[in-house]
Structure 1
Amino acid sequence: MNSIGLCRSYLLNRITVRMCSYYEDAVRKLNRLQSNKSTIEQIRKDIRTGQKCTNLEDMENYLSRTGVTMSKLDELSVVHVAGTKGKGSTSAMCESILRHHGFRTGFYSSPHLVAVRERVRLDGRVISEDMFAKYFHDVHQRLEDTQKFEGDMPKYFAFLTVMAYNIFLKEKVDVAIVEVGIGGLVDYTNILRKVPVVGITALGLDHTSILGNTLQEIAASKAGIMKRGCEAYTVQQPNEAMDVLIQYADSLKCPLTVVPDYDLYSFETSQKARLPVELTAYRTNASLAIQLAHAWMRKKHENKKNSMNGVHNGLITSKMVVELPPSTCQGLGKCQWPGRYQVINADYAKFYLDGAHTKESMEICAQWFSDNNRSPNRILLFSATGDRNAEVLLQPLKCLNFTKVYFVTPTAYKETNQNNDNYSLVEQEELISRCKAYKQIWNKTLRSTSEVAVMECVSSALVNIKQTQGALGTPSVLITGSLHLVGAALSILDPCLNKSYCS
């Protein structure tokens, strides 16, 4: 190589190193915005004691400090999705449908699996490290420069929401599909005032320490994303939840439609949409995604008066699409949503990954795992977040005849630092303590005969599996209970999420 080539190579290496450090610096600063345990407990206490939640006022303040006024935010056209189960896959399919119809899309979701930048996508692609770092540092600097007191900064999720809305506005997307974080009514994403279309997926008991202990309370929180003048869509719900949704929709004069069963759709061509997963729950989510996407397209091209009809007690039979055009079928078939009903083949095991974390979703996960393998060598990797009832989550898994069960902390490796996308403030000792509690539940309450081990990280469990395959042959390994656990596993098994999703 001549001197010019050496110089060019040196400069490229220097630029690459600088870009990497620029991104790592962003991740490090973002991780410092995480809420610690005492802060989270205080939030829950405030909610239980009826203290006023200031999330939306805070978000308006944060956005304003970055140059985004409420009137400016009104320019962003959004499909807003809440729910207990399936809101991620529903949002992903909705985004894919709209993109395949030729629209420039933005997508905001949580949590991430491997890299934090997964949470913000443009045109179906996770934003690059360079773009993430550029927007992060710009937003962070604006907020830092306008602090009224030390620490007057948004926490982790609030910051990412501010950043996502900044990105979507500056990148001039046609539509942003926004997945709610927790609940709906006071979720940071719900600062939106004008939303043409909202969706509410299947409801169940989750985040009860924050949202309430009954389906009615959960439904009231999720219904909070409805806006006067928008169109709302949902799936079949338990009666007590549906009653709340109808009442809320009726009070806002917001037409609410229950989407049809997936089998009722017809296709403009003989080519039927091939879903990545043929499960009833996934097909239900697909039906909701279809109606959300087509409602947004219809509202874009028609005035509100012509796009609604037949309002009665909050429920309507609107202009729902029933014959699917090829672009919609392509959007459904090509949608990628890792970590949900995902299978990965390795040379020493076959891995089944699903981030199920509610009773209902765990029942579906257990059925999916049972239906898709006949291996006599079944292994479970399980973890759950601190506010969930592990006994309820483990109950559907006890009949799957696991030969070995690993209760493992939702971290890829034992040592992580603040430069890591999956760094957590939760102490390792606390995570291990939870795993020991899961082991006790499994052995005593569920009375399983499986061999049980507690592991301090996913990599340790995978090494142990590889070293102890035994005479039963290649194991089938189910990894479930938490999206954070699934993400930790994917960071080892498929660190780039097959590149196409991660590039």
Structure 2
Amino acid sequence: MILEVGIGGTYDSTNIVPKSIVAGITSLGLDHQGVLGNTLPEIEGVPALPVNQPDDAMEVLRKRAEELKASEFVIVPAAGLSNIKLGLAGAHQVLNACLAVAMAQKILEVKKSLKSEPTLSKAFVEGLEQVRWPGRCQIIQDPKGRMTWFLDGTHTIESLDCCIRWFVSPGVGIPREASHRPAHILVFNITHGRSGPSLLRAMNAAKLDQLKLYGRDEDPEMFFDHVIFCTNTTYIDGASNRDLVSLSATDEDRLTTQRELASAWSGLKPVFPSSHAHVLPIIEHAVQFINRIGQEAGTAGVYALVTGSLHLVGGFIEAASLSDVAL
């Protein structure tokens, strides 16, 4: 059995497991460090395999591994998979794949006494190539029209940076043909307690870096033709699949959050037309708006990036009737 922690720390629900075989630690964002700073009980007495972290975070991990008598503390290198085309998009997935391989190899070593080989077996390679994760750097061509959906439910500063670097790259959000300019739409929301301005600043900085990297001559402030800030409520009647709803936000504060996001966007981009920044109460309205833009765009089509919340992404898959192709 493989368990993924939520945020981690002492009170994470996965701590009911008495002792695991191995504990892998992915890149820690600011969201996680505050919780993990004091306790990491899941690494007690077992091999701990972190990927590379900022110095202060790595020092916390190393210290706790010593205190909890982890049997090993091995930093997983981001190397060895260059000849494999991963099933998950985004440069950041290489590090995650390296960690997954290291953990699987450790499990085989402990349970089956199988030592890892320098060359990955066929089973490992096929697993890495065929893995799918709906809602994470996922591209969906809408079967009903000329919309292309780019879905990534990421929600931290670090992961949104990765999301934008994935989207603002040739063959993804930037068409390879210079003459093809689809309408770009950003749909964004955050769940309760996150800093919208900080997340938008990180996204903007990554976008500017990418446009400069690829020598794009378009106005970076107008890369997105429209931005939409909407709640995670899916339908006009207020209905949502319970799996898609964050219970941490109240009805009263949801639209307040979207207005604050729109204000933060205007502060970052004073030249961006205010009429192109939209605050919408439900996902269904956002889908309808994007469909209208798609009709106006004609053959150029629409590239819609939906990000900031897995609840938001799940709602779009539902409201845009994408389940058959996305899941």
Name the TM-score class by shorter chain: 0.7 to 0.9
Q: Deviations over 1:44-88 (max 9, x none)?
A: xxxxxxxxxxxxxxxxxxxxxxxxxxxxxxxxxxxxxxxxxxxxx
Check 1:253–1:434 CA distance in 2 against 1; reply closer, same or farther (3 A cut).
same
Q: Does 1:439 align with 2:262?
A: yes
Q: 3-state SS of the aligned residue for 2:49?
A: strand
Instruction: Indicate which of 280, 284, 287 corresponds to 2:95.
Output: 284
**1:475, distance to aligned residue in structure 2 (A):** 1.4
| 2:42 corresponding residue in structure 1 | 225
Q: Does 1:411 align with 2:233?
A: yes
State the identity as a percent.
33
Rg larger for: 1
Instruction: Indicate which of 294, 297, 300 corresponds to 2:108.
Output: 297
TM-score by length of 1: 0.55
**1:294, distance to aligned residue in structure 2 (A):** 1.2
| 2:213 corresponding residue in structure 1 | none
| 1:245 corresponding residue in structure 2 | 61
Q: Are 2:151 and 2:305, in contact at CA under 8 Å, matched by a contact in 1?
A: yes
Check 1:357–1:422 CA distance in 2 against 1; reply closer, same or farther (3 A cut).
closer
Q: Are 2:189 and 2:308, in contact at CA under 8 Å, matched by a contact in 1?
A: yes
Q: Deviations over 1:297-332 (max 9, x none)?
A: 110023xxxx9xxxxxxxxxxx66532000011111
> Which amino acid in 1 is paired with 2:74?
T
Q: 3-state SS of the aligned residue for 2:74?
A: strand
Q: Are 1:377 and 1:476, in contact at CA under 8 Å, matched by a contact in 2?
A: yes
Instruction: Indicate which of 480, 487, 498 corresponds to 2:314.
Output: 487
Cα separation, 1, equivalents of 2:253 and 2:146? 31
Q: Does 1:373 align with 2:184?
A: no
Cα separation, 2, equivalents of 1:419 and 1:343? 22
Check 1:478–1:403 CA distance in 2 against 1; reply closer, same or farther (3 A cut).
same
Cα separation, 2, equivalents of 1:475 and 1:361? 24
Cα separation, 1, equivalents of 2:96 and 2:271? 34
Count of matched residue positions in the alignment of Structure 1 and Structure 2: 295
Check 1:321–1:224 CA distance in 2 against 1; reply closer, same or farther (3 A cut).
farther
**1:191, distance to aligned residue in structure 2 (A):** 1.6
Cα separation, 2, equivalents of 1:453 and 1:418? 21
Q: Are 2:240 and 2:315, in contact at CA under 8 Å, matched by a contact in 1?
A: no
| 2:217 corresponding residue in structure 1 | none
| 1:273 corresponding residue in structure 2 | 84
**1:197, distance to aligned residue in structure 2 (A):** 0.8
Query: Bigger CA drift: 346-355 or 368-377?
Result: 368-377
Cα separation, 2, equivalents of 1:233 and 1:276? 23
| 2:199 corresponding residue in structure 1 | 393
| 1:21 corresponding residue in structure 2 | none
Cα separation, 2, equivalents of 1:185 and 1:292? 22
**1:495, distance to aligned residue in structure 2 (A):** 5.1
Instruction: Indicate which of 253, 272, 280 corresponds to 1:449.
Output: 272
Check 1:415–1:376 CA distance in 2 against 1; reply closer, same or farther (3 A cut).
same
Q: 3-state SS of the aligned residue for 1:258?
A: coil
Query: Bigger CA drift: 273-282 or 375-384?
Result: 273-282
Check 1:279–1:299 CA distance in 2 against 1; reply closer, same or farther (3 A cut).
same
Check 1:380–1:201 CA distance in 2 against 1; reply closer, same or farther (3 A cut).
same
| 1:186 corresponding residue in structure 2 | 11
Cα separation, 1, equivalents of 2:279 and 2:240? 25
Compute the RMSD of aligned alpha carbons. Answer: 2.4
| 1:335 corresponding residue in structure 2 | 131
Query: Could you list the runs of 5+ residues in structure 2 that have no partner in the other structure?
Result: 175-180, 209-219
> Which amino acid in 2 is paired with 1:339?
G
Cα separation, 1, equivalents of 2:319 and 2:271? 29
Check 1:249–1:497 CA distance in 2 against 1; reply closer, same or farther (3 A cut).
farther
Q: Are 1:220 and 1:245, in contact at CA under 8 Å, matched by a contact in 2?
A: no
Q: Are 1:273 and 1:330, in contact at CA under 8 Å, matched by a contact in 2?
A: no
> Which amino acid in 1 is paired with 2:73?
L
Cα separation, 2, equivalents of 1:234 and 1:442? 35
Cα separation, 2, equivalents of 1:449 and 1:352? 22
Check 1:421–1:326 CA distance in 2 against 1; reply closer, same or farther (3 A cut).
same
Cα separation, 1, equivalents of 2:244 and 2:183? 30
| 2:76 corresponding residue in structure 1 | 259
Check 1:241–1:258 CA distance in 2 against 1; reply closer, same or farther (3 A cut).
same
> Which amino acid in 1 is paired with 2:105?
H
> Which amino acid in 2 is paired with 1:383?
N
Instruction: Indicate which of 124, 140, 143 corresponds to 1:344.
Output: 140
Q: Deviations over 1:244-283 (max 9, x none)?
A: 1111112222111111223x358xxxxx532123533100
Cα separation, 2, equivalents of 1:259 and 1:248? 17
Q: Deviations over 1:93-137 (max 9, x none)?
A: xxxxxxxxxxxxxxxxxxxxxxxxxxxxxxxxxxxxxxxxxxxxx
Q: Are 1:384 and 1:482, in contact at CA under 8 Å, matched by a contact in 2?
A: yes
Q: Are 2:88 and 2:133, in contact at CA under 8 Å, matched by a contact in 1?
A: no
Cα separation, 1, equivalents of 2:146 and 2:10? 46
